[in-house]
Chain A
Amino acid sequence: MMIQVIAAYFVTIFFAIIFNTSKNQLLISGLVGAVGWWGYLMVIHSNYSVITASFVGAFLVSLLANLFSKLRKSPVTIFQIPGIIPLVPGMGMYKTLYAVIEEDYNLVAKHLFETLQIAGSIAVAMMILFSLSTLFDQYVGKKV
């Protein structure tokens, strides 16, 4: 599992390079992605569903992204976009497609629905953090 987390760290860094993040933010972006993937794996290994795991992962990614954006006075996007990449439900999309090719429409419905649930749980996690950070900006800190 450690290897997967370390790989996630570097994957996030390389994605950050693909998205042209500046050099001094790269290591932080990697950290955000690695922690998110660590949370995801921890939840999966405790036998919860992929949907819960994605929620936890996206929650950690957004939390750290917001935190670092306040600390380093740069847009949240810079950390959030590369960080969320390992959690994107590529596997679900692929399984849906594969079922379409096999013409097994029961499986299509199952995988499609699961993919949408994963995407939804990531979205909800991001929403919660976004709302919390707006609250924080209004009552505690100055907006970055």
Chain B
Amino acid sequence: MDSKKLMNFSLAVGEVMLRNGAETYRVEDTINRILKTSDYKGIESYVTPTGIFATLEDEDRDHMTVIRRVNNRGINLYRIELANAISRDYCNRSISLNDAYDSILKAAHEPAYSKQFIVASIGLAAGLFAIVLGGSLHDAFATLVAGLALGLFQVTMLHLGVSKFFIDLIGSFMTSWVALFFIHAIGLGHSLDLIIISSIMPLVPGVAITNAVRDTIHGDLVSGASRILDAFIVAASITAGVGIALSIFNSLYGGIVL
């Protein structure tokens, strides 16, 4: 058994999962399962949202420890599913190590949907959200436009590699202006708060919070705390964007009607 290749494979799987939004305990569990197929006695892995550490040890052989730094975390549930399937197939011995390694390298760049489709989904998700919260069709239309603008901005900026903080801040600022424009300039839609809330939903850190809770319950306190911090920063930048837009509007045109 090529234990170096096995180690690389397990870290590659772990990295794909961590980068795309899997919970910490699941990444550790997957790495441990893969490493258990080796002939080493001692297996350890330690995962935080920003890095992976894994060790293979044995009495009469050299230890092997590898560290993998992970930045640029996003959400891509398709890749998590692929990584999960590959590691399961490998642990069942239904594919060889070489095949598994090749397919995980491929899975790391697997796109599920095109950019245009994502932009359209962001717009439609926002628009329908207005209806979920009990808004009218007019509200939904205004939100749809705001959502499409947000989606276009977000996808373009992510492609250019702009930081998430900036995207959240400017994105929420922009959508608030679109909402204000619809309500006050065109007169379409009645409820400003509903339009703004629905159109910033695609930015809200639901995933970060969900994973933070799961990590904390599981006892991965370092991961849980850092994910909560992550969620807090995103929430703060969104509210700052909306807040700045509303304050500017307030000072330009006087009191806003909620």
Contacts and interface: CB of A to CB of B under 8 A. Distances in A.
Interface in B56-102: 75-81, 84, 88
Tell me which of B79, B88, B132, B201 has the highest count of chain A C-beta atoms within 10 A of its own C-beta: B132
B121 A94 contact: no
Contact of B75 (A7, A19, A97): A19
B118 A4 contact: no
Contacts of B193: 91, 94-95, 98
A4 B130 CA distance: 9
Contacts of B186: none
A73 B196 CA distance: 38
B207 interface: yes
A84 interface: yes
B26 A14 contact: no
Contact of A123 (B201, B207, B213): B213
B150 to A, nearest CB: 11
Contacts of B129: 7, 11, 86
Contacts of A10: 124, 128
Nearest to B238: A93
Interface of B is mostly: helix
Given A77-B77, A126-B217, A127-B217, 7 more contacts: A11-B129, A14-B122, A15-B125, A22-B77, A25-B81, A80-B210, A97-B243
Interface of A: 3-4, 7-8, 10-11, 14-23, 25, 37, 73-75, 77-78, 80-81, 84-86, 88, 90-91, 93-98, 100-101, 119, 122-123, 126-127, 130-131
Interface of B: 21-23, 26, 75-81, 84, 88, 111-113, 117-118, 121-122, 124-125, 128-129, 131-134, 193, 196-198, 200-202, 204, 206-207, 209-211, 213-214, 217-218, 235, 238-239, 242-243, 246-247, 250, 258
